[in-house]
Amino acid sequence: MKILVLSLLRLGDIIQQAPLFKGLREKYPHAEIHLLLNKQFSSVEKILDGVVDKYIYFDRDALQKGLGEANYNILWSYTEVERLIQTLNKENYNAAYNFTHNKLSAYLLGALQIPQKNGLYQEEGRFKGLTNPWLRYFNDRFSGTQKSLFHYVELLGNAFALPTKATTAPHVKSKSKLVLLQCLTSDSKKNWGLEKFAELKRTIEISLVDYEVCVLGASFERETLAAVFSERDLLICDLPEARKHLQNAALLVTGDTSIKHLAAQVGTPIVEIAIGSSDSTKTAAYSAKALILNSDVACAPCSHSQACPQASHLCAEDVSVEKVFGAVWDQLSGEKIAQKNHIRVLERAVWSLYLHNESEPSYREALQNIFEQLSQKEISSCLSAWNEHGTLLLNWFNRAKAALPSREELAGKKNFQSSDIADLILCAQDILKTKRDEAGYFQNFVESLLTRFSHPVQIYDRVSAALTEAEALLNIRSSFTQYLQTSSTEGAYYAKGIGQLPISGFEETGKSVQRNLENAEL
C-alpha cells in the first residue's frame, strides 16, 4: 500500500503532526508513506525519521513569484503545478490524507488520481471530504478565533481514525540540570519579551543555584538575542541540534513555537506561555508534561492575521515573571499545577459522543474516560453548576425554536425585513452577550444569522439545521447528565459506608447472616 500525506503548513505545524504520522504508521505498518510539504521546511526530514519513507517538495515561494513577478512567463507556475501532479499520479497512491485543510491543498488533492481521499479536496468546482463530523468541527473551529474543545491533533486523529496520544513517556532528567529558554516566536504578538526572559533567567539562577539556564535560538536570531543575553548563554543551533539539547534538558520554557512541538516529541517537560494569537486549546504542545500559562485579558487570543490592536502588549504584561517562575518550580519539583477545568472535561465528553456519530452513544465508556480524569468528589462538586448551565442552554433552545417563523411564512415574504426575525436576533445577541456558550452549542445558530442570503427561506433552512444540531447535543447532554448523577449518588452512598458492607452480609444481630453449607438454610 502506498499513501500520500499533504502537509503544506508551517514548520511548527508539521512537527506538531508527528503523532498523526506515527498513528498512520501504526495503522498501516507495512505501507509506504510519502509526505508532500513546502520546500523551505526540508529540515523536518531529520525530525520525522522512521515514520515517513519519502519526502516530496512543493516550491510554494517560487510558484507565488511566478504568478506575481513580471520576469516570469505567465504560464510558468501552471506548468510547474501540472508537472508536479503528473509526477504524483505516476506513484499510483492507494490513499491520500490532507493534514492541511486549506484551499491550496484541496485543489491539489482534487487534481490527483487517488481512489481513497481523506480530508478536504476539490472536485467539479465544489469542496468535498467534510462528511466526517470531526472534520466538519475542525473546519468550523480552526478558521478563525472560534473556540474549540479539542486539540488539532485530537481532531484529525479522530477524523482519520488514527491512534494518537499526548506524550506521557518518562523523560530522563539531565544530570546537568539544564533549563532551556526559547524566547522568540514567528509572530511578535506571541513574544513574551526578552527582558522578561532575562529576568526569569536571573530568578532561576538565584533561586535554583544548581540549575544551568541557556537560551535556544536559530542563526538568524543571534543578533536579536545578543542584545540582551551574553554569548555564553546562547545555544545557536538548527533543528536536529535543538532536538539533542531538548533531550538533555530538564525543562523548556517557551512561547508558541515549533520548538515546543519538538520538546513534546522527545518528552521534555514544558512551560508554555500562550499569548497573542496563540490558542492553547487548539495548538498547545501536545504533551501530558506541558504546563500552559494563558493570559486572562479580554482580547486574547486574537486573530493571526492582524497586528495587536492595543496601545501596549496587554496579554504579555498579564503574565508576570513570578507566575512563570512558579510554573518552572512546579515542573522541576514534580508538583505540577492542576489545570483541570471540570466543566470543560464534561463538555468534551458530550461533544465526543456527538461527533462519533453513533446511533447509540457509548455513555458508559464516556463515563469511564471521565473517571480517568476526574475524581468522584470533583464530579460531585461541579454537578450543580453543570445542571444550572444545562437549564440555561435548554432555555435558549426553546426560545430560539419558538422565535423561528415557519418555512411557509418566510417563503411568502415579498419584502423581507430584519424585524421579521427580531426575536431570533435578540436571542442570538443574548447568547453572545452572556459569553456562556463556551462549548459552542449555539455557534452555528449565531453564525446562521450572520451569513448572507438571497431568499428568506434560506434563513429557515440554516437556522433549522443549526437548531437540529443543538437539540441533538442537548439530548446527549441530558442522557450523559443522568449517568453522571447516578454515579455521583452511588459514590455518595459508598462514601457513607453502604458500599463497604462485608461480603458475609448484614451484621445487625451481632453475627453475619450466612448460608448453611450443609442444609442450604439461612
* Cα–Cα distance for residue pair 187/189, rounded to 1 Å: 5
Collapsing DSSP states into helix, strand and coil, what is residue 499?
helix
* C-alpha cell read off for 259: 520548538
Q: Which fold is adopted by the domain 2-159?
A: Rossmann fold (3.40.50)
Task: Tell me which amino acid residue 131 is.
Answer: T
Beta strands in 90-164 (DSSP E): 95-98, 116-118, 121-123, 126-128
Q: Quick one: how far is CA 331 from the chain centroid?
A: 22
- 270 DSSP β-pair partners: 252, 290
Rg of the chain over Cα atoms, rounded to whole angstroms, equals: 27
Report which listed range, 138-142, 144-148, 261-265, 332-336, is most confident: 261-265
**Band of residue 160 on the pLDDT scale cut at 50, 70, 90:** very high
Q: Which has the higher per-residue pLDDT, 302 or 144?
A: 302
pLDDT for 515 equals 46
Residue with the bigger pLDDT between 169 and 382: it is 382
The length of the chain in residues reads: 522
Residue 43: the pLDDT is: 86
C-alpha cell of residue 512: 453475619
pLDDT mean across residues, the chain: 88
Q: What is the largest CA-CA distance in the chain?
A: 104
Task: List pLDDT tens digits, range 328-355.
Answer: 999 998 765 556 689 999 999 999 999 9
Confidence of residue 105 (pLDDT cuts 50, 70, 90): very high
pLDDT band at 356 (very low <50, low <70, confident <90, very high): very high
Instruction: Give the C-alpha separation, 9 to 6, whole Å.
Output: 9
Residue 500: band (very low, low, confident or very high) from pLDDT cuts 50, 70, 90: very low
- Report the distance separating Cα 474 and Cα 400, nearest Å: 14
Mean pLDDT of 50-57: 91
CA distances to 78, 276, 316, 318, 384 from 299, in Å = 41, 9, 12, 12, 30
- Is the pLDDT score of 98 beyond 50? yes
Q: Which has the closest alpha carbon to 295: 271, 267, 322, 314?
A: 314
What are the tens digits of pLDDT across the range 427-465? 999 999 999 999 999 999 999 998 888 888 899 999 999
| Mean pLDDT confidence for 154-181 | 78
Are 58 and 112 a contacting pair, CB within 8 Å?
Answer: no
Q: What is the C-alpha to C-alpha distance for residues 306 and 189, in angstroms, rounded to an integer?
A: 9
pLDDT value at 198 more than 90: yes
pLDDT bracket for residue 168 (50, 70, 90): low
pLDDT at 496 over 80: no
Q: So what's the pLDDT on residue 337?
A: 53
List CB contacts of 219: < 8 A, sequence separation 6 or more.
236, 238
Instruction: Choose which CATH entry (2.70.98.10, 2.120.10.10, 3.40.50.2000, 3.20.20.70) describes domain 178-333.
Output: 3.40.50.2000
Tell me the per-residue pLDDT of 225-252, one tens digit each, with 9 for 90 and over.
999 999 999 999 999 999 999 999 999 9
3-state secondary structure of 448: helix
Q: What confidence tier does 490 reach under pLDDT thresholds 50, 70, 90?
A: low
CB 341 within 8 A of CB 389: no
DSSP letter string over 338-406?
P---HHHHHHHHHHHHHHTT-SS--HHHHHHHHHHHS-HHHHHHHHHHHHHHHHHHHHHHHHHHHHS--
Domain-by-domain residue ranges, the chain?
Answer: 2-159, 178-333, 345-497
